[in-house]
Each structure stands twice: as structure tokens, then as C-alpha cells.
Structure 1
């Protein structure tokens, strides 16, 4: 008997490991850079709006949930900042504002589709010699002309000098106009580094170096900017996230060569994570295994201090190399999921390489839509910003139209917790068993419901059970509501079935059930037994933060499974 149970448990764990996570970031970079543009491809306002809607509709159909929307290219921007000019490729005229608010429009359309949208900014890189002069005659010229004392020319392109305190203030002031005007879900930093070790910052180093090692001084310059930016963002909008897309190699790994964030371009995102000044890291892991994809991923996992870690994937390479097949990208998604929750999603560079017409691109999109992203995913939680637990919806009711088989589920808003945490949305679950497994994405019949009612057409005359959960602003999910029992032929059969509840309080896991608990076993995702007991409360204080599988046996022999996040 034990062997049978162990086999079933091992099989079930294997399925869990390969299944789609319930919470996962599925992101894509959407460029507005004229040198590599996803959008816009027209100067006409109507065409711009319709094409962005078409892009978002296709991404929504494949269950993407995060858009990294570029709002700054080379010292020019997509919002009325009063500090940097409007990007010329919006209207064809440098510095000219479009006739509509692009950021407000993009935010509205993403939020309609239950997508997060992060403003993608490029702080230090401000354009080639030929690019910046396009803005010479604007009412608001380019920064290289307004503040030449803050700019350095390197390799025929202009950069703001990270070593100048006035550059930090200039950038924080610039992004403050974005943060205070718009409800972006996050800010995502790109190219937040030096362009090269040969960058000519001798004057600023002489003035501000203070005898420090030059490499350490350069890293500290970038660090200070990120710290100040993070603090500014949180002072205005504590819920707005700060993310970064660093070079994919953090530090040197024996056996691999390349450019390293820490030592070659003086970028240290893991310091920002350690100091609590970043929420999300998306390293650009643009290699296959021969160049160290998994090795570099592990380095980020070991050093990201528990911050959300998302793998940046090079979908664009499918069009550049005959060796970079769809299978390479799919393999990287699978490896990311095996590291979950240490890694919690993927981001693709860039939108055209997800939605384009190339055969390999179409194949990747279809595999995502029909398989790997088949079920929608919630945004992962950020425990380091504070763990919350909303109350479950109450008074769940159901009615059934037996002629149409439509079942309408309604519920009341739960009471707010002691912190008055607001409810973001609800999820509705269906099962053929009253013990509804809410971590099985196939049981989630309605991913996001923003009202207090939901109608579903029952597929047949079987008996079904419905329940509802609430998600708060931090994407934390409540326990199950009361369970209702319905069928298409008999209508409502029972409106107050008590669900089994798994409650984590401090160092204890409590199983709240009307049955008698016979045994509780807690397993790591690897299958290793981590804790066990024979009562409804079990100490979990010794467990590290992460995901675990809880298997409960009750007195009638029934086995209940639960995925616990500690």
C-alpha cells in the first residue's frame, strides 16, 4: 500500500512540476524605438490606436499578462515631461506632441485586458551624433544641447555621465513627471549601466571619485541613482514596481566568456536587491546552453535576494540563426518553470518576434497560446513587500436555468482585513468534487472577475461544485468561499458546503476541515519529505521560503492535496 501511495504521489508531483504555474509573469518588450520598432508603424492617430489594440488583443489571446512599453528611446520620450522632447517618430516631427495621450491610452487598453503595463525607460543612453541633432530646432531641445556639461560622447554616441550628481537629479526629476502623471504598474530600467570600461569620465572621477577604486565608484554611481529612483517612486505610489533588465551575465563563471554586468559595465542589480531597492529583475539571458543559459540563471537565483526573477528570452534569434529553433525557447521556458518560485516567469524580446509572420515565430506563438500559456496566470506575489491574506468572499449563491444550463454565481464582498486591504478581483472555480483544488489551473473557470457575479454554461448534466476566491492589491489570494453544488437538470442542490481550508499562521499550518485529520505530509517539490504529523496543526517554522506540496489524509480515506507557498 505504501509503495502504491508513493508511486501515486511521485506521479502527481511530476505532473505538478510540469504543469502551468498559477502565478507567473508572461511579459514582452514592446519597442517604440525607431531603430527597432514594434509600434507605431504609422504617423496617423487612428492607425496607431487600432494597431496597438490589435497587438494587445493577440497577446491577450495567448494569455500574456505584462507589457513592457517603451516610453523613452534616446533622450526623447512618449509623454509631456517638460524635460525631454517628444519622440519624432510619433508624428514625424521632432518635439511635436501627438493629438492624444499615448501613455494614458496604452494603460487603459492594457488594464481592459487585465494586463500589467510597465513603462520601459532608458536613462543614460541618449543617442548617436546624427540622432540627437534632429532636435536642435525644437522649443525643447535634446539634453546634449541643453546640458552639454552632463553628456559624454563615446563611440559616436552621447551618454549622460553617471558620475555626476546633477545627472541623478535630472533623471529622477524626469521620471517623477511620469510617475506622478500615470498609473503605470511599474517602471522598467534598461541600459542602466556604463557603455564600456573605456568610457571617458575622467573629469567626473577626478571631481567626485574621492580616492575610491574607479570600478567601485562607477558601480556606486549607478547604485545611488537606482536607490533615489526607487525611493521617489515609492513616495508617490508604493504599489508601483521598479524593475530592471540587466546584461544577462552577472559575474564571471568559469568556462564561459562574455560581457559581465558587474565587472564590465559596472551594473550591480543584486546590490539593489540586497538593499531592498528593486522589485523585479529581468536579466537578458540571450543564449542557449552552449553559452551558459542555465549557469547564468543559477548565478542570478543565488544572488537576487529573493526578488522576483524573470528570464529575458531572445525570441529574435529565431530569425537570425538556423540553429535557434522554437525548441530552444520552449526548453528555456520549461527550465524556468522547474526553478519556480525562484524564477517566476519569462519576458520575450520583442513583440514582433512573438506576433510576426516568420514561420518559426508563428510556431512559437501557437505553442504558447495552445500549450505553454494555455491557461491564464496571475501576477506573482512579492512577499518582501509585506504578506497579506484577504478574507474569502461570503454568501456565495447559485441559480440554474435548467433549459439553457446557465448557472449564475453571485457573492458578497468580504470584510476588509485589519490593514483595509482592498480587493483587486475574484476568481471562480469549478470541480466535480467538493474538495476543489484551487492550485489546479484547469479548475479556474473564471480567471479574473471584477464584479460580484458570473454566469457559466454547464457542459452537461453532471453534478458540479463552484467556489470563489478574492485577490487583493498585492495578488494574494484568499481561501475558498463556501462551496455550492449544482447540476443542469436539478438546479441548485446545496448552497453551503464547507471547504477544506489550509491556513498558514506564523510557524504553523492549520488544516480546517469537518473531517478528522489522520495524517499530514509536507513535501518539497523535489519529492523530499520535509515535515509530517497526525493532527490538523503542523509546525513549518523550519521550512525555507518557497513552494511545498501538502498531502492530507482524513478519516474516510480521502486524500486532499494542496500547494503551499511559504
Structure 2
């Protein structure tokens, strides 16, 4: 037992003689990190990813979603970011807003099942985290408020609505509108076992040349104490972020709150503390989103700047922006994941680098040198699947050859679950059957490690070189069939328990003797 504990990186009573002489070989490999957040965005607005079109049957929609989740598993992803409120509507039977038109083609149309409940169940079955993605203020992709169903809150409160850039938005400066947005999100948080609440880059809308977001009257009504309209707008978005964070943690402290903003907070020419970029949009100034402040104040659990540019691209260099964000999260509890522009591979004329299948893999190579970067998310699922130029295959074969655990968040919870019990490994005709018993009910999943008993490494499991699988907890007893075990080879298996925030127990070993 002691040797097994030592192998898996847990301090024990082993003698110095058991420690491998070649410590260099035990250095964690950057290509197989033990913990790394990996996901794709599955976008529902205008049926970008899922459902692929409106009017599919419930069974067809479910089959498509399962296919996206199976893609994630094959690629050794460990989470999915699923858009469930694209335009002030719902992919669940919401008490606040109508069914989304992107399900049936008709707003308010019942799809015949509960998509969010189905998504949570199927994701967890595959041991994927399910982060529910909500767009806060966008009401409609068109400008006709009468196209919304009569019972829509916006029809009942047309004074909350602003038309801008060919779309409808709730006015973020109206407190009652902000509360409605929060109530809609909290309806999902309260009633579904989601792992995260996720916002993208839309707060106040992106600027449109020659148009004005008409909230002057609202500013006059609510803006006392704010010297400028811009200051007041940023305060409104700050309130949304603070309030939704407090409301989530008040009922489910383990649910993560993450935001994926446009990656440039401010250009250095605008603010010496900004990034070395010349981007045309700055979230602080143009979207009223003070993204750096949210990190510094620890109002969010993770941030995913959409660094949708190539390394070396002069106006916005991937490497410079990632470094800037690493500086911002350092010393906070906020995790940094990087949003990747898979959609540009083989299609973008912005930079010739996107014609290089190596570009995305180069991003991960750079990220692996920045300790603050804890993962990557890809936009969007259909582009990941398209595998243009073979870029996805190259990335997966280089960086995702092993599973990875979700990065732990000690600021939310740092207590690991109790270890498993009664681990056994038995040869079968199909491989090695590993069995164990759960000790406590707070165990959500398990990690299974394997090394050859003779000739295998004796390194701690501080990377994923020996991690062969993670599986969801399904009851008091559990098993895993290792179909990749070589006949006639004896293995040392270790099993760890993980809770829903990925805190890991000490490992319990067993040997496959037959």
C-alpha cells in the first residue's frame, strides 16, 4: 500500500530508497497536465450549433446533443458550455421567460421535453461539467417587439426595451429589467444541477457606427452621482455581476460563475495599464464592461478572454494578450481559461497564420509556459468538429492525448472527499475490471490511474501520463473496465475520489495479478 501511495504523490512513510533516482523523468509533462479545463461552446442562437435547425423532433434534438457530448469525450474535454438563454428566452420550462424559438421555430413552443434537464443528465453521465450559458440583455435578433409572444416580459414592459443595431435589448440601466434578467438565470440555477453559470461578451451592445443606444432618459432618472454616462453604464453592469454572483453563491456555493469577454479591456494608448494592443473595441469603454475590475474584486470564479487572434498579429497579439491577462489574475482566486477562435482556422483572411494548421496548437504551446492559464475553450462546436486543415486533430494529438481533471477551486472548497475502499483489479476476457466502493456521498467522480507493475514509472501522479479515465459516481459500488490493458502485463491501478469541485482524495492502489 505504501508504495502505491508514494507513486500517486501522497506523502507516506516510504523510505528514501523508494524515491526514483532519476527525478528528471518525473517532471510533469506540459503536454499531459493533470488538471486543465477543456470545453467547446455549443451555441444555440440562430441555430449555430444546436439544434442544427428549428423544428426537429425531441428525439432528433436529443441525438444531436448527445453527439456533441460524445465529441467532447472523444477529445478528452471535461466540460461543455451550452447556450440556454440566447435571446431572453429559455431552453427549459422557465417560470420567467418563454421557450426559445430556436427549439421549435416558434417562441413559446414547447419542444416536448426539458432540454436543460436532458443536457445536465447526459453531460454528467459522461462526467462532463455542464456550464449553462446565458446572454443577459439581448432580447431579439430583430427589431419588431410585436414578434415576441404577448406574454413576454418585454411586451409587458416596452419601456425597458432599446432598439439598437438591428436588435432589441433590455436597458441595463433599469433596475427592474436587471432583476428580471437575474430572476431568469436563477430559475435555472435553482432547479437544475448545473456546474456553472456562463456569460459571453455581450453587455451593453457592441458599438454600431452612426447609432446611439438611447438611454439618456434612464441616465437622467437613475444616474445621480455618476459624472458621466459611461461611468453609470459600467456601474449598471458591475451591479449585474455582483448581484448574480451573490445570488448564485447564496443557494449553491459550488456553482461556478464565469465570464468570457472580448479580450481587450483597454488598449495601452488609452490607459497605460491596458494591453499592448490597438483593438477597435475596448470592453471598458465600448461595452461598459470593466472586466479587469471583476477579476480584481473576485466577483467571478473564472474568466475566458476571447483571444481570437493569432500569435504575432500586430493589432492584437495572442501572446501579449494572454500574458496581460495572466498578470491580472495573479494574486486573485479567479481562474484564467483562454477562448480560442477555431472558427477562423482555414477561413480567416485577417491573418495568414489562420491558414496554418499549427496555429491553435501553437497557442497551447505558449499557454503551457504561463502557469496562470488553466485551460481553453473553443468557438464553436461545429468548427471544432469541422477539423479544417486537420487543426483540431493536430491539437488533440499533441495536447489532449490523456484525460484531465477539472482545475480545483480552493476558494470555493478545498476539502477532499474520503478515499475509496476495497479496490480490486481482475483480469477478464475483455481487459481488466477495476472495482471499488464509495466512502462518502460527496464523491461525484473518480480518477483511475494505471502503470505497469514491472518497468513502469514510479513518479507521483502530478501529470496525467498514467491517468486512463475519469468516471461519474453512480452509486455505492463502482467499476471500470480497462479495455486497453495488454494481456499478460501486470499493472498497478490507483483510484481516487473527487467531489464536484474536483478536490481529489488520496489514492488507493491495487494490483492486477491475473
**Which category describes the TM-score, using the shorter chain as reference length?**
0.7 to 0.9
Contact 2:423–2:435 at 8 Å: present in 1 too? yes
Deviation per residue, 1:115-150 (Å, 9 max, x gap): 111111111122244464422xx342361x221111
Q: Report how many aligned residue pairs link the two structures.
A: 465
Contact 1:132–1:142 at 8 Å: present in 2 too? no
* 2:42 is aligned with 1:30: yes
* Paired position in structure 2 for 1:194: 204
RCO (CA 8 Å, sep 6+): is it higher in 1 or 2? 2
Contact 2:434–2:481 at 8 Å: present in 1 too? yes
* Paired position in structure 2 for 1:300: 325
Task: Tell me the SS of whatever aligns to 2:113.
Answer: coil
Task: Tell me the SS of whatever aligns to 1:429.
Answer: strand
Contact 1:63–1:374 at 8 Å: present in 2 too? yes
* Paired position in structure 1 for 2:409: 382
Unaligned runs of 5+ in 2: 1-20, 270-275
TM-score by length of 1: 0.76
* Paired position in structure 2 for 1:64: 77
* 2:466 is aligned with 1:443: yes
Cα 1:295–1:440, aligned 2, differ >3 Å: closer, same or farther? closer
* Paired position in structure 1 for 2:384: 354
- Counterparts of 1:371-450 in structure 2, within 5 Å, are 371-400=398-427, 404=429, 406-414=431-439, 422-432=442-452, 433=456, 435=458, 437-448=460-471, 450=473
* Paired position in structure 2 for 1:318: 345
Cα 1:95–1:441, aligned 2, differ >3 Å: closer, same or farther? same
Contact 2:125–2:472 at 8 Å: present in 1 too? no
* 2:104 is aligned with 1:102: no
In structure 2, how many angstroms separate the alpha carbons of the residues matched to 1:253 and 1:391? 49
* 2:153 is aligned with 1:146: no
Unaligned runs of 5+ in 1: 1-6, 492-566
In structure 1, how many angstroms separate the alpha carbons of the residues matched to 2:123 and 2:109? 25
* Paired position in structure 1 for 2:232: 217
* 2:258 is aligned with 1:250: no
* Paired position in structure 2 for 1:554: none
In structure 2, how many angstroms separate the alpha carbons of the residues matched to 1:86 and 1:462? 55
Contact 2:127–2:472 at 8 Å: present in 1 too? no
* 2:62 is aligned with 1:49: yes
* Paired position in structure 2 for 1:535: none
Task: Tell me the SS of whatever aligns to 1:452.
Answer: strand
In structure 2, how many angstroms separate the alpha carbons of the residues matched to 1:390 and 1:272? 31
TM-score by length of 2: 0.83
Deviation per residue, 1:460-488 (Å, 9 max, x gap): 4344322222212220112222x33444x
* Paired position in structure 2 for 1:499: none
Deviation per residue, 1:327-355 (Å, 9 max, x gap): 11111122222223x11111111111011
Alignment root-mean-square deviation, CA: 2.6
**Match 2:92 to one of 73, 79, 88:** 79
Give 4+ residue runs of structure 1 displaced > 6 Å after superposition.
none
Task: Tell me the SS of whatever aligns to 1:310.
Answer: strand
Cα 1:300–1:142, aligned 2, differ >3 Å: closer, same or farther? same
Contact 1:250–1:300 at 8 Å: present in 2 too? no
**Match 1:338 to one of 369, 372, 391:** 369
Query: Of the two, which has the highest radius of gyration?
Result: 1
Cα 1:30–1:308, aligned 2, differ >3 Å: closer, same or farther? same
Deviation per residue, 1:240-267 (Å, 9 max, x gap): 1111111111222355211111222221
**What is the CA-CA distance between 1:110 and the residue it aligns to?**
1.2
* Paired position in structure 1 for 2:283: 261
Deviation per residue, 1:49-102 (Å, 9 max, x gap): 222222222222111221111112222322222432222232122321111111
Cα 1:394–1:435, aligned 2, differ >3 Å: closer, same or farther? farther
More strand by share: 1
Cα 1:199–1:57, aligned 2, differ >3 Å: closer, same or farther? same
Task: Tell me the SS of whatever aligns to 2:465.
Answer: helix
Task: Tell me the SS of whatever aligns to 2:85.
Answer: coil
Cα 1:11–1:76, aligned 2, differ >3 Å: closer, same or farther? same
- Counterparts of 1:109-120 in structure 2, within 5 Å, are 109-120=122-133
Task: Tell me the SS of whatever aligns to 1:204.
Answer: helix
* Paired position in structure 2 for 1:529: none
Contact 1:428–1:446 at 8 Å: present in 2 too? yes
